[in-house]
Amino acid sequence: MTQTPDIVVIGGGNAALCAAITAAEEGARVLILEAAPKPYRGGNSRHTRNYRCMHHGPLGPLIDSYSEDEYFDDLLKVTAGKTDEKLARLAIRTSEECLPWMEEHGVRFQPSLSGTLSLARTNAFFLGGGKGLVNAYYRTAEALGVQVAYEAQVTHLEVEDGRIVWVDFTQNGENTRLTPKSVVVASGGFQADTDWLTRAWGPAAKNFLIRGTPYNRGVVLADLLDQKVEQVGDPTQCHAVAIDGRAPKFDGGIVTRLDCVPFSIVVNKDAQRFYDEGEDVWPKRYAIWGRLVAGQPDQVAYVIIDAKSIDLFMPSVFPPEKADTIEDLAVQMGLPPAALRQTVESFNAACGDTSSFKHTELDGVATTGLVPAKTNWARPIVEPPFYGYSLRTGVTFTYLGLKVDEHAQCSVGNRPVSNLWAAGETMAGSILGQGYLAGFGMTIGTVFGRIAGRKAAAHAN
């Protein structure tokens, strides 16, 4: 870095890149400080696959239309009303003009992926997924003169008299202090810091898997919160889903999902069922099961299905355990064989008429007299071979973040920090109080990234 940049963007994912590109187009000299090495650049954006977008009539890969009100209603459903309506509607309304902007800046879309037809109207899928998007944005940013420092870990932002006076970071063991005119924080949540997660969740969090980047350790977030920058979101909460128990500790991403729960029985390590596996279609229950598994001993659960169901769900990344008897399967999975046999038998005995079984909808094929009941897709598990998967809790993101206003600006008390803006996951708690809506994270990142970039550039110029 020969010159002090006008703007420092902390983070290297979608929101950071949208901010950097927008600011560079306004003529500012921009430096991106990305904590990850180049192959892992892009934060959680590299694991994303689509962008939820309001639209009046067909737009890009999207069919029909998706109104602001429908979008907002969908958001209300998943957040149970815990959402900031003003900011949410701003994100929703602006999402439409962002899609052509994304295309102009190198993002390419593809038709809705196989197995995701339900999203063809509402979500635009990136060709190649989020890493394809991130690659395209880095190309665009670099062509605009944006400088990128990889493995550059920001250690401290000095807040003084309502502004950021300097930014400290380390790279290759060297400490550097910069004094930019504007700073954009887009460095995600803290879910990769297991100690922080454990403080928030209790010891169970030690057994959680982190679905995304290991670089979101919340260092900048903690630093700013310590200096009384306004926070938002429940500090004890994170978004978690049930994923394949064999997934890596970090960065397992999309492939570790398991869609077979509705066709299964799920037991804990004592081979006991604990919840209605057939409550609703899978994507809607995805998040609930993260919490359910977290509540079981050792934070682990086991899905058991039989030969009838093996082809009814998306293929798993690791092959399932497979055995000709329930007892053998139990042994392979480390479950008590007799207990599992008994659980399966009492479940089977509670199954009734299965002739109206239909795997694509709530079919009402339920158990009778069983606790907990299975209220849909309840077919006896009798047809060998039997298959099993282990389930663990996979954390997607944390809700605690920086509170921003409609200009993406941060504040101390009720006074704005004059040169600090935030975008993406690190401020998503300002909009999402709980729950998650597929593709909305990228919408927040794109909309607020662009706002932050524009405001940061206006301040710097």
Q: Which of 57, 173, 203, 319 binds another protein (CB under 8 A)?
A: 319
| CA–CA separation, 16 and 187 (whole Å) | 8
Q: Which of 117, 127, 338, 349 binds another protein (CB under 8 A)?
A: 127
**If binding is defined by CB under 8 A, does position 434 make contact with another protein?**
no
- Strand boundaries in 356-441, DSSP class E: 386-398, 401-402, 409-412, 415-422
Positive or negative torsion for Cα 60, 61, 67, 71: negative
Query: Of 94 and 110, which CB lies nearer to another protein in the complex structure?
Result: 110
Q: Least distance in Å: CB of 259 to another protein? A: 10
- Half-sphere exposure for 391 (CA within 13 Å, toward CB): 32
Query: Of 279 and 425, which CB lies nearer to another protein in the complex structure?
Result: 425
Name the segment binding another protein (CB under 8 A); options: 16-24, 126-134, 193-201, 233-241. 126-134
**If binding is defined by CB under 8 A, does position 78 make contact with another protein?**
no
**If binding is defined by CB under 8 A, does position 312 make contact with another protein?**
no
**If binding is defined by CB under 8 A, does position 255 make contact with another protein?**
yes
Query: Of 110 and 342, which CB lies nearer to another protein in the complex structure?
Result: 110
From residue 446, how far is each of 131, 186, 265 by CA, in Å? Answer: 15, 11, 40
Task: Report the run of H or E that residue 10 belongs to, with start and end.
Answer: strand 7-10
Closest by CA to 278, choosing from 292, 291, 289, 264, is 264
Q: In this structure, how many other beta carbons lie within 10 angstroms of the beta carbon of residue 119?
A: 19
Q: Which of 58, 81, 100, 115 binds another protein (CB under 8 A)?
A: 115
**If binding is defined by CB under 8 A, does position 248 make contact with another protein?**
yes
Q: Least distance in Å: CB of 63 to another protein? A: 16
| Contact code string over 23-52 relative to another protein, x by CB under 8 A | ----------------xx-----xx-x---
Q: Which of 82, 93, 108, 359 binds another protein (CB under 8 A)?
A: 108
Radius of gyration of the chain (CA): 23
CA-based end-to-end distance of the chain: 19
Query: Of 315 and 372, which CB lies nearer to another protein in the complex structure?
Result: 315
| Contact code string over 332-361 relative to another protein, x by CB under 8 A | ------------------------------
Name the segment binding another protein (CB under 8 A); options: 84-92, 245-253, 395-403, 448-456. 245-253
**If binding is defined by CB under 8 A, does position 151 make contact with another protein?**
no
Q: Least distance in Å: CB of 95 to another protein? A: 21
Contact 388, 432 (CB under 8 A): no
Q: In this structure, how many other beta carbons lie within 10 angstroms of the beta carbon of residue 324?
A: 10
Q: Which two tokens stand for residue 103?
A: 């295309």
Name the segment binding another protein (CB under 8 A); options: 291-299, 314-322, 336-344, 366-374. 314-322
Tracing tokens 């930014």 back to the chain, one arrives at 167
How many residues are there in the chain? 461
**If binding is defined by CB under 8 A, does position 104 make contact with another protein?**
no
Residues forming a β-bridge with 250: 210
Query: Of 114 and 360, which CB lies nearer to another protein in the complex structure?
Result: 114
Contact 309, 265 (CB under 8 A): no
Residues forming a β-bridge with 395: 210, 240
Residues found near another protein in the complex (CB under 8 A) = 39-40, 46-47, 49, 108, 110-111, 113-115, 125-132, 135, 139, 248, 251, 253-257, 311, 314-317, 319
